[in-house]
Structure 1
Amino acid sequence: MVASLESTVREISPQAIARELARRLAPQATYVRVAHSAEGWKILLEAEQIPDQRTCLDVLVAFLSPVLPQSIDVYGRQLGGQRPAWGVRLRPRPVATPTPGTVRARQLEPLALAASVLGIFGLGAVGQWQSPSVWLAAAPEPTVEQVRSVILNAAPILTPARPPLWHHYSPPEAFRGHVFNRVALPPEQKLVALTFDDGPDPTYTPQVLDILAQEKVKATFFAIARAVAARPKLAQRIVREGHVLANHSWSHGYHYFNPAAAQHEVDQSQQLIEDISGANIKLFRPPGGNLHNGLVSHASQQGYGVVMWSVDPQDWLPRQTSDRIVNTVVQQAHAGAIVLLHDGGGSRRATVAALPRIIAELRAKGYQFVTVPELIAAQEPTSLPEPPSWLTIQETAQLQQLILQLETRIQVLEKELKTTPLWAIAEREYLAATLREQQAALSWVQQRLAFEQAAEGQYQAALKLAEQATLAAKAQQSSVAKTLWQRAIATLDSIPNTAFVAPLAQIKQRQYSCRMHQLQ
């Protein structure tokens, strides 16, 4: 008992005091709520029957007198009631030279015990009881999950960010270097991946993206690299809107490629897609599904997952109709299916017309739409890439928007907490807990913003060094240029991997390394 009391006294937290008082008042089955502010302590006691005032005060005085030097307002209320039945203020008695054991540290000062709440709280305690700080002190500490939930719930309404820079993906061992046309899932796991080949096309790709955005569906686009080079903004839009942009070769050739040509066809495409969009997805789809012309052999050796398909509505046929496309997809769909469609390579009017119906009819059958990496992850739960953090937004401008949003929400909650009726205990507790969650979220976002701004500062410093290196190289100052390239690379290397700008920094590192070696 003594050890427990000493431990509680050392903590001096509202939660610790509430626990100890509840234990001491256990015979009355009393529920205890404790709040603290600079002005003093507030204690609310509740029980099935109105707590006995004298018994409760005896326990409080015996327990709290030695440890709490401030005034204490104590209220008793029947459990579930709206108004306290009694209230008492305990004040420290001024003592010139306190002597342990001889001086009683507290005296009772009865408050007005009128039935009116204003009468009970009318002796100056009302302002303190209304103060948000009192209720915040008593509110539980938000959990990590609660703070994340606040941020994630706010993120979708922010202005869209630039391309998700963390879109770097390598398939797990079971798929890496292998050809697959579906993902083996149990029948009840009704996931389907829509894939689009041969784009980006200036006419049909925007229409496909508009439909996917309207239906809130994510898809996988296997793009021809020279089309990406010709239409970089479309490629960037694909990635920016949360889709997967993967490799469909440079030229879409069906002929045989020798090893050197195959390396150029696959690797050059991958590099260009990454340079333009920031995405490096190690998935490859061979043109025409040709597995034996040298491209698949090279892609497999490089660790790509070679993605074929299990549902083919042949939407590429010149006279194909939207009805036949829809019927084929809906009839052949299965858990783990990969559906082949096209957003380029010819007229895709039928595909565009069929797409909303495909989505609606498969949803009616209980299917959900995912990207190919997500489909793989359904079988291999650890295979999805980890973003810089659990945060779903990817740029500092959005963090700044989020800070303003949280600050506004906090102001509203503070006003609501201060103006809520005194007897609305449950509502005040809810508002205080919500307010603490918002404040904790704001603190986290502010820290994250400072972290990202520091990383962006390093990135910009590296770009300036690279500009100086380029000028030195043009002036035939090779040693100076090499030193500047080295400094730029080292600066980029110091950027944390979890920063938003880290993937771009990695791309620049590779580019600067190549330029530095060209000087030698």
Structure 2
Amino acid sequence: MIIYFPCVTTFVQKVSASVALCSALVGCGGSSGTRPAAPEEPPAVASLSPARLPPTMAPGPGGLTPVFERGPATADKTVALTFDADMTADQGPRAASGERFDNPALIDTLRRLKVDATVFMTGRWAEEYPDQARAIGNDPRFEVANHSYSHHAFKAPCYGLPALGRQGMAADVRRAFDAFRTVGVRNVVPYFRFPGGCYDDDALRALAAAKVTAVQWDVVGGDAFATDADAVAEQVLTGVRPGSLVVLHCTRSAAPVTEQAIRRVVPELRERGYRFVKVSELMAAARGT
């Protein structure tokens, strides 16, 4: 599904307020789609040959940033698992005191289970964990997308997140891409996820200069602050349909049971005939419909 004029409502599913709040606070079209002009592309993407360029969606009317929420509901059972690697610009002291915003066990499990996935990474996370960011970004099983540099809101109010001014939004996104390049992250795709999932038309207009496709979801994993891995797994397994895009998190301190939930989700979905793909493959399928 491709949306060009989204309203301020961003969550597609009706989930409980507590799940929506937790999900927001943390994280670890048609055939007319066009590619951004090379000078505006993220540095790690601009150097790719045309044959290797990730699919994107064409801007909406008036140049609004396009929004992608799920793939086509076709007979081909594909699902994209996405993981937000969240860290706000001001959480350095918490990391220095021992709080873990990473989740290497989750990444290891995805590798062991041979699951392709997309990691939406903040620039601040990449700077805090450069070795992990580089390892994820150099692994062909994963692609790295942009979750902003600061994890500040692009629309206020947004679950208590500090808000960016309109004039700083595109710069914040570019700063994250710069952070990826600095630490050596490859396999970068020109996709962006709004912190907290909060946006409006003003944000889409301000973000247009960054030349990205915004990526939301149709299944909320509910793993943020959860302590029951089976409850998280059930929420994912109940919500997934062909073409679904699932939002989960790659942050050990705030989403401690995600890895355990994935160990149940993956084999059960495979038993149902599902295949795990990256967002870029899901988007390519949508462009072909």
TM-score, structure 2 normalization? 0.67
The structure with the largest alpha-carbon Rg is 1
Question: Aligned pair 1:194/2:93, yes or no?
Answer: no
Q: CA RMSD in A?
A: 2.8
Q: Which of 262, 265, 268 is the matching residue for 2:172? A: 265
Q: Partner letter of residue 217 of structure 2?
A: W
Question: Aligned pair 1:249/2:134, yes or no?
Answer: no
Question: Aligned pair 1:297/2:184, yes or no?
Answer: no
Aligned partner of residue 270 in structure 1, secondary structure: helix
1:244: how far off? Answer: 0.8
Matches within 5 A, 1:140-159: none
Matches within 5 A, 1:305-324: 305-316=213-224, 318-324=225-231
- Report the equivalent of 1:336: 243
CA separation of 1:308 and 1:222: change in aligned 2, threshold 3 A: same
1:258: how far off? Answer: 2.3
Q: Which runs of 4+ in 1 moved over 6 A?
A: none
- Report the equivalent of 1:184: 72
Counterpart contact for 2:72–2:285, Cα < 8 Å: no
1:303, 1:258 → 2: CA distance? 18
Question: Aligned pair 1:371/2:278, yes or no?
Answer: yes
- Report the equivalent of 2:256: 349
Counterpart contact for 2:122–2:148, Cα < 8 Å: yes
CA separation of 1:296 and 1:228: change in aligned 2, threshold 3 A: farther
1:296: how far off? Answer: 3.9
- Report the equivalent of 1:207: 105
1:341: how far off? Answer: 0.3
- Report the equivalent of 2:4: none
Q: Partner letter of residue 171 of structure 1?
A: T
CA separation of 1:370 and 1:173: change in aligned 2, threshold 3 A: same
What is the number of residues matched between the two proteins? 218
Q: Which of 35, 58, 62 is the matching residue for 1:173? A: 58
Counterpart contact for 1:299–1:306, Cα < 8 Å: no
Q: Partner letter of residue 71 of structure 2?
A: V
- Report the equivalent of 2:117: 219
1:203: how far off? Answer: 6.7
Q: Partner letter of residue 363 of structure 1?
A: R
Counterpart contact for 2:138–2:186, Cα < 8 Å: no
CA separation of 1:222 and 1:236: change in aligned 2, threshold 3 A: same
1:228, 1:268 → 2: CA distance? 11
Deviation string for 1:303-361 (max 9, x for gaps)? Answer: 31111110002111x34411111111111101110101001273322111101111011
Unaligned 5+ segments in structure 1 are 1-162, 383-520
1:297, 1:352 → 2: CA distance? 36
1:295: how far off? Answer: 4.7
Unaligned 5+ segments in structure 2 are 1-43, 88-98, 154-161
2:136, 2:69 → 1: CA distance? 23
Counterpart contact for 1:222–1:246, Cα < 8 Å: yes
1:238: how far off? Answer: 0.8
Question: Aligned pair 1:234/2:144, yes or no?
Answer: no
Counterpart contact for 2:151–2:195, Cα < 8 Å: yes
- Report the equivalent of 2:40: none
- Report the equivalent of 2:25: none
Matches within 5 A, 1:418-437: none
Which one has the bigger helix percentage?
Answer: 1
Question: Aligned pair 1:281/2:185, yes or no?
Answer: no
1:302: how far off? Answer: 3.1
Q: Partner letter of residue 173 of structure 1?
A: A
Matches within 5 A, 1:425-504: none
Counterpart contact for 1:224–1:252, Cα < 8 Å: yes
1:239, 1:184 → 2: CA distance? 27
1:246: how far off? Answer: 0.7
Give percent identity, aligned residues only.
28
1:381: how far off? Answer: 5.0
1:298, 1:281 → 2: CA distance? 20
2:139, 2:194 → 1: CA distance? 25
1:380: how far off? Answer: 2.8
